[in-house]
Amino acid sequence: MKKVLLAIAMVLGTATANASIEAPAWACNLAFKGEAQGFKVILGSYHYEGQGDLNCVSLTGQTAHYPVRVTMKAKPLSPQVAFGRMELSGQAAEIALFDTNPESILGTYYVAQAQAAVLGGVGLITATRIDLPTMALKVSLQFAKGFGVNLGVNRMEISLR
C-alpha cells in the first residue's frame, strides 16, 4: 500500500511540475532593427539582416526573453520587386499556437511584405510558420530610412544570437 501511494504521489507531483512549465500558447513581441539592400525584379538579389529582442508571455503568465537575429534572403528567382537600401526598425506581434515552448517562434517563416522609403517610409510584413502540430503567426510594422522599395513574397529566418 505504501508503494502504491508513493507511486501515485510521484505521478501527480510530476504532472503538477510539468503543468507549471508548459502553456498551450505564447504571445510574443519582437523589437528589431536592421538593413535591407539589393536589386531584384523577379530575378536578382535582395536581403535583410537585423537583430532584435523577442519577449514572450504565456496564457499562464510565464515570460521568456531571447536575443534574436532576423534574416530574409529571397531566392534568385522569386515573386519580388525590390531595389535600394533601407534601414528598417520596428515591432512585430507574434503568437505561437498549440505549443508548450516559446522557442517555437524561432525558425523559418514565409512572408508577404511591402516597404517603401524616400528618405523615410514605412513597411508591413505578415508571416506564417506551420510545423504541425504548432503554428506561428506574425504581423510587423516597420519604419524605414533610406531609399528603396520592396514588395513580394520571401522567406524569413528568426534564430538565436
pLDDT tens digits along 62-121? 899 999 999 998 888 999 999 999 999 999 988 877 766 777 778 899 999 999 999 999
- Tell me the backbone φ, ψ of residue 10, rounded to 5 degrees: -65, -40
More confident residue, 143 or 16: 143
More confident residue, 131 or 150: 150
| pLDDT tens-digit map of 4-57 | 444 444 444 444 444 444 556 788 899 999 999 999 999 999 999 999 999 988
pLDDT at 99: 67
Contact 127, 71 (CB under 8 A): no
Phi-psi label, residue 8: left if phi above 0, alpha if psi -120 to 50, beta otherwise? alpha
C-alpha cell, 2: 505504501
| pLDDT tens-digit map of 132-141 | 777 888 899 9
- In angstroms, the CA 47 to CA 112 distance is 14
* Residue at grid coordinates 513597411: 123
pLDDT at 22: 54
